[in-house]
Structure 1
């Protein structure tokens, strides 16, 4: 801004100097014309009329030149005024363009921020939706498990209401207490073969049917072993399929594969014989 004002002031100073010079010349010509008039008035005779006409002609020529110079100075002032107005308009246009560009930049930044907020809201909404679905799925599984356990509890109540038959007794001899025939717990960390033998012994001793045996075995499962029950199809939860699943997961065939894998990964230690490594 200051540089532009200096540029606007420079032509005005030059024109002012030229006008001052023209005014100075006019004053000098007026003085010369006044001196010539005084000189013309001094002598007398016919030649004085000729000198007077020449002086008048000179004065008219000087006045005409002064008028022309004034007209030129006026035109220069008008041109300077127009140039100043054009510079002002150009400056106003530049300011307006800068303001418009700043406004557009601000709108672009605001739109970008709004887009990021909208994207974040959409992402958050999808996460909330997925989380809601997961919660519903967990709730459904929880309700299903609760229903299973309620059903199992009812079956246990029925089992406890019956008097189990003692081991080695006849079909008409009954045991006085069912507590000593409780099914042990199985979580997959103990021997499945030993647990299976104990469970089958209890089934034979208490003469449980498949439904009662399935309920007792289900209540005995803990930890990872309970996942075998959960992986059974809803229409295939029977004692036979549950036993097959547990035997596949924890039986001798499964252990054979585990031992073979461990043997393949076995590395012979220093100062260890091949028989010791394979043993």
Structure 2
């Protein structure tokens, strides 16, 4: 099977260099590497002009619109081959990454997506905890990630993670990443929208912890600064999650999700219970997160209703 590796990048040339170096030593050689670069990203353009690709069939795609969704859609439009494997510029795939990915796709023609563990490096430490439940959408709408902690055998899941996900191009067809995802950079939950759309079409998603990348979370150049609260980023996250789940869930589960989201919620998308639980430890920050979550839920509902009217 012919593999295209797709890497969106923005102003992180040192991280990109590590990623490309990891692709140079794959046990199954890459057939095509596509790096999507913003037109204003002078640092990356300078790096690529001096980079020696050696055995990598490197292709550069220029994009003018900000955000990971625009970058990935620009890349998808130029993909060639049977499998497109997506990773981040701050990740380094293990040497057998493509070999293991291809083995899954060859084994079952009903598999549309394959993902795996991203081993997160923080300073000199690696997060080495373990979880059995990974990438699952519970019946009432809570999404369990844990892709960076997964252990055990390969299994079918609902959601893959953007830093380590591969797709059969035949299954993708004309599907694109959802441009309604908010954010100027990370656009959280974009991969959930994509993988759940494929699930609705009847395809399988497989998570295999041995399909692994090393992940070195790098600086972001947008409102979403990972572990620091930002009101706009928080609203965007909750909006995106709400929109995706409202579109995916059937009517009864959709109603249950809205009730649960408002009453309970999660640590990332507060409901009333989460606010009360975290108020003693987070104080005013908990209140800000709760109120911001309400705004994100409401805006996600509005976007969903607008789509229903248009259709």
Both proteins in one fold, TM over 0.5:
no
Where relative contact order (Cα < 8 A, 6+ residues apart) is larger, the structure is 2
Higher helix share: 1
Higher strand share: 2
Greater Rg by CA: 1
TM-score (norm 2): 0.19
TM-score (norm 1): 0.20
